[in-house]
Amino acid sequence: MKAITIDHERCTLCGLCIKTCVRQILQEQDGKIICTEPDRCIFCGHCKAVCPEDAPQVASYRAEEFAPVPAKDTYPLPDDLLAFFRVRRSMRIYRRKQVEHKKIEQIIQAGRFAPTGGNRQHLEYVVIQNQETLAKVRDMAIKNLKKQADGIARTLTENRTQGKPAADEDMLAERYVRTWQDMYSTYKKGIDRLFYNAPVLIVTHFAPMGGFSELVDAGLANMQMALMAEALGLGTCFNGLVAIAADNSPAIKAAMGVPKNHVIPTTFTLGYPGVRYARLVSRRRAQVKWIT
């Protein structure tokens, strides 16, 4: 990426860009604002966003995306926004209707504008609409999960018979054994309890970079995407089982077009809802410790 540059003809030396720079690499020297360490810039765009004269220039990004911030009176009211958050439920009943390409693009855009640690923007997506591919991934994933479940069940049984302590990961996975085995049984009867016959699967993946925020980044992006889908009249259901199966099978990654060295933190199904919920989501009370 090219470094941030300052249009000195526009710059009034107000200093706002210096204050907002995350890396503190903008300084005033000889009556001009300059970038002292271009290689440390993370291209967050804060300097450009805060400048009243639009003097900072970011060659790596499209200028039209730095549109003016909408007036605050156009924002949703807090109660309305909270209600919108609570409208979304996991959708497992989908209409047999394809999702328009334009709407999927809007959903991807919602993920694209989510924050990422260090502004690395490392997330990638695969959108699977082809029904043959979906069927292939479904078949491979369900069979893989069944195989994993049977292996876990055998190991736990053997350990208990021999009086050996079970491995922590097997104990954690034990609760899924029955679910994965039942999923396989119903699949053999023609019932899809993995994708629920959704017409679209969106897969998030990334190349590991050794950062601590990678999974958080994916979660933030996926939630924004799910809320955009809700705004577009679509339903979603986060699906970690596909990620578990793919992590155990390079062939599943290949079928989804994901590089074998990439991590899949989650996926979600997408489609037009086949049922309308009449009441908002309820949850247990938040566990909060106030330190004042």
Q: What is the pLDDT of residues 25-75, one digit of tens each?
A: 999 999 999 999 999 999 999 999 999 999 999 888 888 999 999 999 999
CATH of domain 5-65: 3.30.70.20
Stated as kind and residue range, the H or E segment containing 263 is: strand 263-271
Q: Could you tell me which of 132, 131, 108 has the C-alpha nearest to residue 234?
A: 108
Residue 165 and residue 171 in contact, taking contact as beta carbons nearer than 8 Å: no
- Domain 71-292 has what CATH class? alpha beta
Give residue limits of the domains in the chain: 5-65, 71-292
pLDDT tens track for 66-125: 999 999 999 999 999 999 999 999 999 999 999 999 999 999 999 999 999 999 999 999
Whole-number pLDDT of residue 69: 94
Cα–Cα dist 146/140, whole Å: 10
What is the β-pairing status of strands 263-271 and 200-206? antiparallel
Q: How many helices (H) and strands (E) does the chain have?
A: 9, 8
Tell the burial category of 288 from Cβ atoms under 10 Å away from its Cβ (0-12, 13-18, 19+).
Answer: exposed
Intrachain domains 5-65 and 71-292 with the same fold: no
Amino acid identity of 160?
Answer: R
Whole-number pLDDT of residue 152: 87
Whole-number pLDDT of residue 185: 97
**Residue 76 region, left (φ>0) first, then alpha (ψ -120 to 50), else beta?**
beta
pLDDT tens track for 182-222: 999 999 999 999 999 999 999 999 999 877 899 999 999 99
Q: Which residues pair with 213 in a beta bridge?
A: none
Whole-number pLDDT of residue 16: 97
pLDDT exceeds 90 at position 173? no
Under the banding of pLDDT at 50, 70 and 90, the label for residue 165 is confident
Under the banding of pLDDT at 50, 70 and 90, the label for residue 2 is low
pLDDT tens track for 215-258: 999 999 999 999 999 999 999 999 999 999 999 999 999 999 99
Cα–Cα dist 255/242, whole Å: 12
pLDDT exceeds 90 at position 175? no
pLDDT tens track for 131-157: 999 999 999 999 999 999 999 888 888
pLDDT exceeds 70 at position 1? no
Cα–Cα dist 267/246, whole Å: 11
Say what percent of the chain tops pLDDT 90: 85
Residue that the structure tokens 């053999």 belong to? 188
**Alpha helix segments (H runs only) across 6-118:** 16-20, 46-50, 78-87, 101-112
Tell the burial category of 287 from Cβ atoms under 10 Å away from its Cβ (0-12, 13-18, 19+).
Answer: exposed
Whole-number pLDDT of residue 10: 96
